[in-house]
Amino acid sequence: MSIKTLTIPEDSLINMLKTLPEKHLVDLFWRTLFMFDTSPLTKAEKKAVKQAKEKFARRETIKWENLK
């Protein structure tokens, strides 16, 4: 797999992230951050996932719309 580097001004990137529909944001993050990491989760990562799910269940997370 080839790796490409893209240089973009920070304000342009932030504007893009704020205006993209959520389904495109999910796809973007999936492709750039998660898609190619097939290694097993570490104990720390498993703990972080568990804590995140617990926060979500308690409604302590921030909705994407509130970040815009």
**Per-block average pLDDT, block size 10, for the chain (68 residues)?**
78 86 84 74 94 93 75
The verdict on residue 3 lying in a domain is no
The verdict on residue 2 lying in a domain is no
Domain count, the chain: 1
Range of the domain at 29: 10-67
The DSSP code for 1 is -
The verdict on residue 5 lying in a domain is no
The verdict on residue 17 lying in a domain is yes
- Does the pTM exceed 0.75? no
**Secondary element (H or E) of residue 29:** helix 22-29
